[in-house]
Amino acid sequence: MHAMVLSRPRSPLQWTERADPSPGPGQIRVRIAACGVCRTDLHVVDGELPEPTLPIVPGHEIVGRVDAVGAGVHGLAVGERVGIPWLGHTCGVCSYCIAGRENLCDRPLFTGYTRDGGYATAALADARYAFPLGEAGDDAALAPLLCAGLIGWRSLGMAGDGRRLGLYGFGAAAHIVAQVARWQRRLVYAFTRPGDAATQAFARGLGAVWAGGSDEPPPEPLDAAIIYAPLGELVPVALRAVRKGGRVVCAGIHMSDIPSFPYRLLWQERELRSVANLTRQDGIEFLRVAAEIGIVTQVTRYPLQQANLALSDLRAGRFEGAAVLVASAA
Ligand SMILES: [Zn+2]
Ligand SMILES: [Zn+2]
């Protein structure tokens, strides 16, 4: 197999050849067709997340086919198409796991962060955390659903039922959430980098009733806002944009520091919270909804060997939607 490997933070990934790993008990080996490139991968590469396993193969939006199964694997067969998400393993015995909040597990493993991920031609996974994907849909088009879609879905639930929904940072997650929100008959207000007319047009094309720069106020107060951009300065901006009793949800795993702000922005029962990881139940629900809605992802394909280019294009905002690594460029 081949993989793009991060040996130390803030260095380029290296194209590396390795022996195919053998699945241990409870594991599957997946031959990878496509792997999405997530903002979290940039945080891993930039050394912004604590204690990564190094060297590490990044990538946690994996679509591929099972090509070997270890002892004790039930319900997955060789040849079956599966998705491998960020949540790679949980302990099953800590207080969070027992309470059904496995996204907060005390001893988790995360794909592409603390266990090898999908910037590769093959990967091992714990079979219990893989999602069967069926045969409908293109491999690369499905890949962004595995994190951008899943975290988007979880953050949308945390935002409550409010009709007027603001999305700060209109990238991979927001372009999927906008489609779900519209299906739920909500009104989407899209906030982009100031002056980013192309992304604002992209958001309107996906049904946003308003799109503008994050330096602009919405035309009316929002019921809720979700922040996908990793910029702490957007927290007081979003609090200012929501009505009394409104919610602001921070959906990223890492953010720059939040500047101090006057208490009156939080006053009147506005709420501020973060969303961490996912549960398997989130995945089951979201993949069912995604199929029902017929979500269309916009993907830019990169050959696996060009993972470093995909990451730098993501950092610079050079594409709309999501980047996906594929075995060979389409
Ligand atoms: Zn646990
Ligand atoms: Zn992700």
Question: For the segment 260-301, what is each residue's pLDDT rounded down to a tens digit?
Answer: 999 999 999 999 999 999 999 999 999 999 999 999 999 999
User: Which residues are in the CB-under-5-Å shell of ion ligand 1?
Assistant: 90-91, 94, 97, 105
Rounded CA separation 125/287 (Å): 19
The answer to whether 323 touches 314, Cβ cutoff 8 Å, is yes
| pLDDT tens digits, 181-223 | 999 999 999 999 999 999 999 999 999 999 999 999 999 999 9
The ligand placed nearest to the CA atom of residue 91 is 1
**In sequence order, what are the residues at sequence separation of 6 or more whose Cβ sits closer than 8 angstroms to the Cβ of residue 241?**
166, 217, 218, 221, 222, 225
The pLDDT value given to residue 327: 85
Rounded CA separation 89/94 (Å): 13
The pLDDT value given to residue 330: 40
The pLDDT value given to residue 129: 97
Cα-to-centroid distance, 211 and ligand 2 (Å): 24
The ligand placed nearest to the CA atom of residue 84 is 2
Cα-to-centroid distance, 109 and ligand 1 (Å): 10
Cα-to-centroid distance, 317 and ligand 1 (Å): 36
CA-closest candidate to residue 238, choices 257, 255, 222: 222
The pLDDT value given to residue 328: 67
Cα-to-centroid distance, 93 and ligand 1 (Å): 5
